[in-house]
Amino acid sequence: MNTVNLSWTLSRYLGRQFFMTVLVTFSIFLCLIYMIDLVELMRRASGQGNMSFGVLASMALLNLPTVGSDTLPFAVLFGGMAAFLRFTRNHELVVARAAGVSVWQFMLPALAVTFIVGTVMVAVYNPVASAMSAQYGQLEAKYLRGQTSLLAVSSNGLWLRQADTDGQSVVHALRVSELGLKLEDVTIFLYDTSDTFSGRIDARTASLEDGYWDLREVWISRLNDQPRRYDEYRQPTTLTLTKVQESFADPDTISFWDLPRFIDMAEAAGFSAKRYRLHFYDLLATPLLLCTMVLVGAVFSLRTSRLGGLVQLVLGGVFAGFLLYFLSDLSLALGLSGVLPPFLAAWSPAIVAMLLGLAVLFHLEDG
């Protein structure tokens, strides 16, 4: 392998061309996603009389960063292939190789730019996208799903808001067991239909049954009335275990920087934090996954003159990219089910694909 150093001018040129091509590709993806998502929201809201076009457009915009981030690996793959193909077709790669620049040195600016982009996506883009996704989830729950319950986990326990025919109530518990079926050290704040505080219920435990909370060792305090104690008490509720689990925060709505603290709080509250831990490791693996997409694109686009037709190579690159994405989703599913450890499930597809890409490039370049 030639050891001629790559000049800063050429590195900057290659990195800038690669970045602009990927940026244009990603922008096209975002525009398509926004239009498709807006049409889908209009379809879902067709039976809702209180939904204006402005609200739907805002919801599609709030959901765009989260959905768009899922397409970034493909933007890097397709944009990278387009950039490498242009370098090859314009004979820029041939000139660089004639000057003693190896393929590895030629790819180094693209890999460096991709790693920086991946780091920025995790550290800066993700917190913004998660905040917008949380707002989108609130609007979707309010206007499209009619969801009336909301669960939140904090350092001082679990908070759950529920609505019924008598008004609303806020349930607070210091600990949770049986994945949300049983609460310990429970306080229920009662509100009437006009959202006016009407009393509170304190209980040692609360078990979620069909249509009610089964409370034990209960004190009930209502306005203008003496506190009353009961060994057992049934508090009506429309909640089910499914609704409680659906109300739990989606991993996409939690910032990368807040995920470790949220995982600790969820586990301390008695909930399984496996999908949040898996999401955290998946975010950490983003720069590596994007660099892997660069290698995949390079395998199928840098050697077109030697390996055959352009169309076949492009189709091969697209197929390889989708295969890698499918294997990543499969690995995450195995991690979520407990078959694979979260760290291994998040990192193994990118690591294996990168090693294969490096092996193929070594073979093409030096073999």
**Average pLDDT of the segment spanning 287-297:** 91
The pLDDT of residue 65: 94
**Average pLDDT of the segment spanning 298-313:** 65
The pLDDT of residue 307: 47
Least confident of 99-108, 145-154, 197-206, 307-316: 145-154
* 162: phi then psi, degrees, rounded to nearest 5: -135, 155
Residue in the block written with tokens 């993806």: 29
The pLDDT of residue 178: 56
The pLDDT of residue 233: 93
Q: pLDDT category, 3, cuts 50, 70, 90?
A: very low
**Average pLDDT of the segment spanning 230-253:** 79
- H/E stretch holding 230: strand 228-236
Residue in the block written with tokens 């050891």: 3
| Pair of tokens at residue 280 | 């955290």
Q: At what angle do helices 53-89 and 126-140 cross, to 10 degrees?
A: 150
Domain range summary for the chain, segments of one domain joined by +: 8-145+270-366, 150-238
Q: At what angle do helices 103-120 and 53-89 cross, to 10 degrees?
A: 170
The pLDDT of residue 362: 80
**Average pLDDT of the segment spanning 270-287:** 88
Q: pLDDT category, 279, cuts 50, 70, 90?
A: very high
CA distances for 316 relative to 6, 26, 296, 305, 357, angstroms: 30, 21, 10, 15, 13
Residue of 265, 258, 262 lying closest to 123 (CA atoms):
258
Judge contact between 149 and 162, C-beta under 8 A: yes
pLDDT in tens, 81-122: 889 888 888 878 778 777 777 778 888 999 999 999 999 999
CA gap 147, 358 in Å, rounded: 49
Which DSSP category does 195 fall into? S
Pairwise pLDDT comparison (274 vs 179), residue with the higher score: 274
**Average pLDDT of the segment spanning 254-283:** 85
CA gap 50, 143 in Å, rounded: 8
The pLDDT of residue 64: 95
pLDDT at 152 over 70: no
pLDDT in tens, 341-363: 999 999 998 898 888 888 888 87
pLDDT at 324 over 60: yes
Tallying the residues shown for the chain, one arrives at: 367
